[in-house]
Structure formats: C-alpha cells, structure tokens
Chains A and B, each alone.
Chain A
Amino acid sequence: MTTNEPVIEVTDLRRVYDGGYEAVRGVSFEVGRGELFALLGTNGAGKTSTVELIEGLARPASGRVRVLGHDPYTERAAVRPHIGLMLQEGGFPSELTVSETVRMWAGCTTGARPEGEALSLVGLTRRAGVRVKQLSGGEKRRLDLALALLGRPEVLFLDEPTTGLDAEGRQETWELVRELRATGTTVLLTTHYLEEAEGLADRLAILHAGQIAVSGTPAEVTASQPSRISFELPAGYFPGDLPPLDSLGVTGHEIVGRVLRLHTNELQRAATGLLTWAERTGVELRGLDVRSGSLEEAFLRIARDVSEQDARMARAVQGGTAPKNTARPDKEHVA
C-alpha cells in the first residue's frame, strides 16, 4: 500500500504560543500514502501542538506543512473533505443524542456514511438514542472516532484515540485502525501508550521538548536501545568476580542493593558469557532477567534525559546551594 508519494509533509515546523512559549521547535517528518505514523511523547512534549498545525487548526510560527499537497491552514476547504480527525478531547453538545450528533455531522460532511454504518463501525449502535452527556468516557471517544470516519477520509488524524478506553475498547479500536490502514487510509496517531505505537505504527517518532528525539520503524528505534541483563549477585560474590565486563560486550553497569544491571548492544554474547561463567562457577543467578532493548526503554531514557537536564538546570539556577566545583560545569553544560 505504501508508495513514495508523501501524504503529509512537515518541514522545520515551529509553534509559539501567545506567552512566548515555544511548544514545537523545528519538527520535520513525512508520512507516505497508506502509512501509519505515530507521534509519541510525554505530556507536554508537543504532540498535540504539532498535530493541530498539521490539521490546519492553527498557523505555524514558521516552517511548512502540506497535507495531500495543500497547506492545511490557508487551503482548509481543499483539504478538509479528504481528512477525518479526532481531537484529544471530544467537543459535542452534551444534550444531543448520539444519533443526532452523527446526523448533524453527516450534514456537514462530503460523502458521509449512513448513520447506521458509522455507529456500527465503532459499536455504538445500541447507544444511538442516548444523550452524549450520559456516555462513558470510552463511548465518547468512540463517537468521536465514528465522526472522524464519517467521510471515509484518505487521511486520519487520531490524537490519543484510546485514552479513557478499557482494554477491550482499546483492542477494538486498534483492530478498526488496522482495517482502515489495510484499505489504504493514511493515519497520523499520537499516543502515550507505547504498545499502541509498537503494535500499530509503520514508523514512529518520539517527541520531547518540541523536538523529535528519535524516529524510525519500531524495530529500528528498539534496536538503537541497549539490551539489559539484571540479576542478584550470589552471596559472597562481587562484580569484580565476574569475567571482565568488556569481554562480555557490556557497555555499562549499575548496582542497586545486591542487584547488578548490565547494559549491552550484544545481548547474546553478554548472556552467553555470563551464563557460562555461572555454570563454571556453580552459582545460581537469582532474579535473572534478560531483555532486548524496547520502545519503553527508549521512551524512558528520553524522559530521564529531560528530567536530569531539568534537575541540572535547577541546581545551576540555585547556584549558592550547589557545591562550587559542580555549579560551574553545570552552568556550562546547560549553556
């Protein structure tokens, strides 16, 4: 399904809010036809701020956005009939019924699906006569999705589509998104559920502080992360008793209590070396845990980098309370 033709093109995008806060700081990426692209990030990373620019809801401070070859902000009328979207938070009059809401939206949508079809897609058929204010959070998300799909969009924007859904609802939504993707719909998804991105996305990008920290296929991003081995040091043994860590391909290690954690880019070599040593020495490695790099690790590492940076900055700002010898390098680091 994927062709070379980009459906979404984003180049050096920036967004500055009224107070001067720069939420998006030079984001660039492309999404090909039929591709599912996920934007990941912690809260405040700039996901929604970025997506709103691509949806044409706001004008970027600088940079370029093209959706289906058009500027989504200045050429709204050309783009809108071909896209469907779901905001992070609904936005439906609470006193209308589900059915009335769909009918209202259908009257404003080119080539709208019949009401019954739209509701059955998201499993809300039996709730058609219920007022929106009486729907659960998950049902509201599904109504939102029904409206996003109403015009059979070529491009679908989903801003945290499964937030508030229970496990089953989440699975159903994923299934629906997979089906849509299989029929050639291009999807831009934001989420903070890692398994959602890992399971659905062809490619993804992790945003932090308004910039793309890592991007690629889920496999590429995962492969760029070190794998990890952790276990409890047997009684009477010290890290120095292990074979030289370099020789095992271990790039770093840390000890928490009695638990030793090794990081490596060559998981098989490191694990084999460690287990061979344990076999030869005749010790049991309790709590042994061997795991490949994961998206979660990539995500956490980026989040940790941010919070460490914040902490360093806070120390640097406090100045007087920080030891003199560390205050100076910290400031330089921040600058």
Chain B
Amino acid sequence: MSTDTVTRTAPQAPTVTAVGRITSLARAELTLLARSRATFFAAVFVPLVLPLSVRSTVEDMDLEGAGLSIGSVILPSAVGFSLLFAVYSSLVSVYAARREELVLKRLRTGELRDAEILMGAAVPSVLIGLVQCLVLVGVCAALLDVGAPEAPLPAVLGLLLGLVMWPALAAVTASFSKSLEGAQVAAMPLLLLSMVASGTVVPFEVMPDRVATVAELLPLSPVITLIRGGWEGNLSAAETLGAIATALAWTVLAVFAVRKWFRWEPRR
C-alpha cells in the first residue's frame, strides 16, 4: 500500500466550475473584509448613519410642493449611500489593494477567468450592500411610515441594476489609480457627484429642469429614480424604460472600460 504522495496517480479530478471558483475566492475575500476593520466599518456603518444626517436637510425642503414625503426621499437615498459606500468605495480599495499585493496577477496564473476574479472579489461587498439595502428599507418603513412599494418591480430592478453597475464602476475606477491611496482619491469625484446630483440628497423634482435632465443621466440616478418611483408608483412606462436604459448603458460602458483598461499588475 503506497502512500507516496508525489508518485500517486491523480484521483478522479473533481472539475471546478466557474461558480465554485467564484465562491472560493469570495469566501477568502469575506475573511479579508472581516479582518480589515477600517474597510469593514466604512462599508457597514457609513451607509447606515448617513441617511440620518440627510434627514434634517430633507426636512427643510419644500417637499409637499413637489409631491414627495420625507420617507420617499430618504429611502432611495439610503439605498444610494449603500451602493456608494458599501459597494463602490470599498470595492475600489479592494481591487487596488489586491493589485498592489500582486494578488490579481497571481490569480490570473490559475484557472480563474478574468471576469471570475473581479466577480469573486466583489461578492462580499455586493452581499453587504444587498443586506444593508434590505435593512434600510425595513428601518425606513418602520420609522418613516413609508409602507410597501406601490410598484415593487421597478424598485427591485433598480436595486439589482445598481448592484451590478457599481462593482463594474469600481473596477473602472481602480484601473485609473496607481496605489491604494490613489484609489481612494480616484473614487472621490464619482462619489461626491453622485451624492450631490443623483437625487440622493436633493430630489430631481426640486432641481431646476435643465440640471435635472443632465443629473438624471448620472450612474446612480436611474437607481434612485427606479426605487423612488417604485415606492411612489408614479413612474410612467417611458420613465421606467429610460431609467433602465441609462443603468444598462453605464453597465455596458463600465464592462467595456474594464476589459480595455483594467490593470492587473502594479505600475512599476
């Protein structure tokens, strides 16, 4: 009975599937996220706290005139913050950190395909974002008297599109930074722009028309529109399709940019 490990013939090789590979990578990333306190807190708590600070601002606005309630403004904002901080900002750091540690390069030497590497790394952030959104919706419903969405489908679609689009945008952003610190800086413009102009703090209805038209084309805007509209049940078919088209366009653009420009190794 030979137990020689080197000479033993290979046992029936269990074939690894794409899902298996992504799961394996995702599990490691989740472990890493739990061990990185700063990233973990930024991802988990910032989006939970931010909506509270928005509340006072929102209370000063003339919402009645625009036909909005406090809850219907804060709830989509909360989801938006979750996508921006739990998903986008933290993933930009993850991609940059793994690149600088040469982890991405090493992973590319294995059986993982490029897309699987990026997806596997994104799973923990996306999961946190999803859970957070659900918690926030629950909290808003309970505390702000929002109730159930009038049209759940656009709301769900908005959330799902957001959870696909923002990891892709994070990968694009990470492509254009040279270091971990640089990645945080690179994430700033889109982060700030989205907070100011995507309807998170200031609803489109309150903006001047011209500004609103442009602001609605920003990547976070269709998500906010779909979720808010889903809750209010006041989106026309054209508005719904427009928002979906905007979200898809950003996603396609981001995927294209990643394929073309994503850097797998540090610039030396």
Contact = CB atoms under 8 A, between A and B. Distances in A.
Interface stretch (B6-14, B159-167, B252-260): B6-14
B99 to A, nearest CB: 10
A97 B162 CA distance: 33
Interface string A55-93: 101000000000000000000110011000101011111
Given A104-B28, A111-B14, A152-B10, A92 B103 contact: yes
A101 B27 CA distance: 11
A96 interface: yes
Interface residues of B, number: 34
Contacts of B105: 57, 87, 91
A108 to B, nearest CB: 4
Given A93-B101, A93-B103, A108-B111, A100 B28 contact: yes
A104 B13 contact: no
Given A91-B102, A111-B14, A106 B32 contact: no
Q: A93, A106, A111, A183 — which one has the most chain B CB atoms within 10 A of its CB?
A: A93
Contacts, number: 92
Interface residues of A, number: 36
B31 interface: yes
A120 interface: yes
Nearest to B111: A80
B35 A57 contact: no
A134 interface: no
A113 interface: yes
B5 A80 contact: no
Given A96-B32, A108-B21, A113 B5 contact: yes
B262 to A, nearest CB: 14
A257 interface: no
A105 B25 CA distance: 8
Contact of B24 (A93, A108, A121): A108
A107 B102 contact: no
Given A91-B101, A96-B28, A111-B13, A80 B110 contact: yes
Contacts of B104: 91
A179 interface: yes
B57 interface: no
B36 interface: yes
B109 interface: yes
Given A87-B106, A104-B28, A81 B21 contact: no
B53 interface: no
A203 B35 CA distance: 46
A106 B103 CA distance: 15
A326 interface: no
Contacts of A87: 102, 105-106, 109
Interface in B84-120: 98, 101-113
A117 interface: yes
A330 B197 CA distance: 67
B20 interface: yes
A95 interface: yes
B23 interface: yes
B56 interface: no
A108 B110 contact: yes
14 contacts: A80-B110, A87-B102, A91-B104, A93-B32, A93-B101, A93-B103, A95-B36, A96-B31, A103-B28, A107-B25, A108-B111, A108-B112, A110-B16, A117-B5
Given A113-B5, A117-B5, A179-B6, 10 more contacts: A77-B111, A85-B109, A90-B102, A92-B101, A92-B103, A95-B32, A107-B27, A108-B24, A110-B14, A121-B5
Interface of B: 5-7, 10-11, 13-16, 20-21, 23-25, 27-28, 31-32, 35-36, 98, 101-113
